[in-house]
Amino acid sequence: MREASSGSELLGCVRDAWAHDEKVALVISDIGMPEGDGIDVTRTLLASNPQLHVVLMTAFGDQATVKRAREAGALHVLRKPFSLAALDKVLEELPGVE
């Protein structure tokens, strides 16, 4: 597992993993981040690997934001605060994610 605190750092982490032939099956990201929001990061990552599973979270769960996230390719958008049980349920629904 890797952690990032900005959109550009997240892109760098995933690209570094791919460069070292590490399998990346899932990215969980906040929508609101400095240096590239989660929606932009989702678009960029899925352009390189359409099979990647992306789950986004946000404290601003208005319909327009959720729609933009889904249009970018996010499989789920969790509204904060959420429980670990809610996250577990989302992860259980994703094929090939262990």
Per domain, the residue ranges of the chain are: 7-92
Phi/psi at 55 (5° precision): -120, 125
Start-to-end CA distance of the chain, whole Å, equals 12
Class of domain 7-92: alpha beta
pLDDT digits (tens, 9 = 90+) for 76-91: 999 999 999 999 999 9
> Could you tell me the strand order of the sheet in which 26-30 lies?
26-30, 53-58, 76-79
The predicted structure's pLDDT at residue 36: 87
Mean pLDDT of the chain: 93
Residue 70 and residue 45: Cα distance in Å, rounded? Answer: 14
pTM: 0.90
**Residues ≥6 apart with Cβ < 8 Å to 13:** 2, 3, 4
Per-residue pLDDT band for 60 (boundaries 50, 70, 90) equals confident
Phi/psi at 65 (5° precision): -65, -45
